[in-house]
Amino acid sequence: MKLTIERAALLKSLTHVQSVVERRNTIPILSNILLRAEENTLSLTATDMDLEVIETTTAEVSEPGATTTPAHTLYEIVRKLPEGSQVQIALEPGAGRLTLSAGRSKFNLAVLPVDDFPVMSGGDLPVTFGLAAAELRGLIDRAEFAISTEETRYYLNGIYFHAADAEGTKILRAVATDGHRLARVEAPLPDGAENMPGVIVPRKTVGELRKLIDETGEAVDIAMSDTKIRFGFGKAVLTSKLIDGTFPDYERVIPSGNDKSLDLECKPFADAVDRVSAISIEKSRAVKVVMSGNTLTLTASSPEHGTATEELEINYDSDDIEIGFNSRYLLDIAKQVKGDTLNLLMSDGQSPTILRDTDDLSALYVLMPMRV
C-alpha cells in the first residue's frame, strides 16, 4: 500500500472516525483503525463492535492495499503535522510497520492483520428514507440532554425514534427521559418512514451522529431494521446496533390536567435560576419557585453557605403555587428554548410541570418536582 494525501483531508476524516474508538480496549484490534486504499480513495473505518463509522476521502494511490494501525496515535501524529503538509503513507510487504512521512518527519507505526478487524455485517435494512440534516439536528439537539446515564435502565440510554399520529398528522417523534425529565420532539414524517419500527438509538451513537451532521447540509439517508440503523452522509456512513429493549409508555408521564399557565421571559428567568442556585453545592442544586400574584420568587438554601432569593415580575392570575425543581434540569430545558418566551403549565407542587417554547410547539418538556 502506498499513497499521498493532504494533511487537512486526512485529519478531517480521522477526526470523525477516531472518536468511535474507546481509549481503553481489552481487544487490541479495536484500538486500531482500518485503512483501505484503492482507486484514488482512502477509506477509514473504526468500530467498537456496537457502532461503526466509515469515511472515504480523496488520495493519490500508487499502490492499493489495506492495513490497521492504532487510531489515536495516528490521529495525534496527523494533528501535529504542519498545515498544508503532504502526507505519504506506505506499507511495505512483510515489513510489519506502517511508514508515515511528511516533510522531515517520519513515523513507523505498528500494524495488525486486516483479517482480524471486525466488520459490522450490513444485514437487511428494509426501511429507508431521507431526512433533512437540519430536521435531524433539531430532533437530536432538543432531546439529547434528557438521555439517562443509568446503566441499570439501559432502555433509557438513548433516544426513542418512532412514527406517531398527532391529531391526524403523521409525524416523526424523538423522545428521551431519565425518569426526572422528559423531552418529546416532533418533525414531519418523511416519505418512506411510515412503516419504521420504534427504535432506541444509543447515547454514544447519538453523539457521533451529531458530529457528522455538522459537516453536511444535505439530506441524511437513513436505513433501519429492528436491530440496526445506518446513516449515510455522502462520504461517511455510520452503522449502529440499536438498544434491545422496550421504551416505556411515555405518554402516561405527560400530564393532561395541568391548568395553571405562566409565560416567562426565558433568558431573565434562566439567569435568575442560575444565580440563585450558585448558593447550593449539592448535585441537585434545588431551587424553590413560588408564584403569587404578579411576583415569582426563587429561593435556594444550603446549610454551609446560606440562602439566596430573587424576585421576578410576572403576569400570573391563577392560585398561588410553590414548587421545587432541580435547577440544572430547569436550565437544561431553558437552553433548548430558542424564542423569548417559556411557558410553564402546572397543576400543583407535587405534580410534573410541562414546559414549552411558545415560538416552537414541536418540542414539549416534562419536569418532575422535587422536595426543597
Q: pLDDT tens-digit profile of 222-276?
A: 999 999 999 998 899 999 999 999 999 999 999 999 999 999 999 999 999 999 9
- Report pLDDT for 270: 96
Judge whether residue 101 has pLDDT over 90.
yes
Q: Which strand (E) or helix (H) includes residue 155?
A: none
Of 2-6, 74-78, 316-320, 366-370, the range with the lowest mean pLDDT is: 316-320
Is residue 234 domain-shared with residue 260, that is, in the same domain?
no
Is residue 148 domain-shared with residue 239, that is, in the same domain?
yes
Q: How far is CA 269 from CA 168, 216, 265, 343, 361, in A?
A: 35, 35, 6, 11, 20
Report, as an integer, the average pLDDT of 305-320: 93
Tell me how crowded residue 70 is: count the other CB atoms within 10 A of its CB: 20
Is residue 178 domain-shared with residue 140, that is, in the same domain?
yes
Judge whether residue 89 has pLDDT over 90.
yes
Helix (H, G, I), strand (E, B) or coil at 318: coil
Q: Which residues pair with 176 in a beta bridge?
A: 183
Is residue 216 domain-shared with residue 312, that is, in the same domain?
no
Measured between alpha carbons, how far apart are the two ends of the chain, in Å?
Answer: 65
| Boundary-marking domain end, from 116, 148, 165 | 116
- Report pLDDT for 284: 66
The separation between CA 82 and the C-alpha centre of its own chain, rounded to angstroms, equals 32
Is residue 262 domain-shared with residue 316, that is, in the same domain?
yes
Is residue 83 domain-shared with residue 186, that is, in the same domain?
no
- Report pLDDT for 95: 76
Q: Is 301 among the domain residues?
A: yes
Q: Is 35 among the domain residues?
A: yes
Report, as an integer, the average pLDDT of 29-36: 96
Mean pLDDT of the chain: 93
Total of domains in the chain? 3
126-138 tens-digit pLDDT: 999 999 999 999 9
Judge whether residue 216 has pLDDT over 80.
no
Tell me how crowded residue 3 is: count the other CB atoms within 10 A of its CB: 23
For cell 427521559, what's the residue?
177
176-214 tens-digit pLDDT: 999 999 999 999 999 999 999 999 999 999 999 999 998
| Boundary-marking domain end, from 224, 252, 280 | 252
Q: Is 121 among the domain residues?
A: no
Judge whether residue 337 has pLDDT over 70.
yes
Q: Which residues pair with 239 in a beta bridge?
A: 52, 230
Segments forming the whole domain that contains residue 164: 127-252
Is residue 199 domain-shared with residue 100, that is, in the same domain?
no
- Report pLDDT for 294: 92
Q: Quote the CA–CA distance of 342 and 358 in Å, as a whole number.
A: 6
Percent over 90 (pLDDT), the chain = 87
Burial class (CB in 10 A: 0-12, 13-18, 19+), 20: buried
Cα–Cα nearest to 90, from 76, 108, 75, 103: 108
- Report pLDDT for 168: 85
Q: Is 21 among the domain residues?
A: yes
Cα–Cα nearest to 315, from 340, 338, 337, 343: 343
For cell 446503566, what's the residue?
151
Q: Is 362 among the domain residues?
A: yes
Tell me how crowded residue 138 is: count the other CB atoms within 10 A of its CB: 19
Report, as an integer, the average pLDDT of 48-56: 95
Domain CATH code at residue 40: 3.10.150.10
For cell 506506505, what's the residue?
90
Q: Is 372 among the domain residues?
A: no
Largest CA distance in the chain: 81
Q: Is 296 among the domain residues?
A: yes
The full DSSP string for 77-104 is HHHHSPTTPEEEEEE-TTT-EEEEEETT
Q: Quote the CA–CA distance of 355 and 17 in Å, as a whole number.
A: 37
- Report pLDDT for 234: 84
Is residue 14 domain-shared with residue 94, that is, in the same domain?
yes
Is residue 187 domain-shared with residue 243, that is, in the same domain?
yes
Is residue 280 domain-shared with residue 260, that is, in the same domain?
yes
The separation between CA 348 and the C-alpha centre of its own chain, rounded to angstroms, equals 33
| Boundary-marking domain end, from 252, 285, 300 | 252
Cα–Cα nearest to 157, from 240, 221, 45: 240
Cα–Cα nearest to 163, from 136, 138, 192: 192
- Report pLDDT for 93: 79
Q: Which three cell numbers stand for residue 122?
A: 450490513
282-301 tens-digit pLDDT: 776 899 999 998 999 999 99
The separation between CA 279 and the C-alpha centre of its own chain, rounded to angstroms, equals 30
Report, as an integer, the average pLDDT of 162-167: 91
Q: What burial letters (b/e) apply to 36-46, b meaning 16+ CB within 10 Å?
A: bbeeeebbbbb
Is residue 205 domain-shared with residue 186, that is, in the same domain?
yes
CA dihedral 163, 331, 133, 39 (to 10 degrees): -120
Q: What is the pTM of this model?
A: 0.93
Phi, psi of 160 (to 5 degrees): -90, 110
Judge whether residue 308 has pLDDT over 80.
yes
Is residue 142 domain-shared with residue 210, that is, in the same domain?
yes
Report, as an integer, the average pLDDT of 329-357: 94
Percent over 70 (pLDDT), the chain = 99
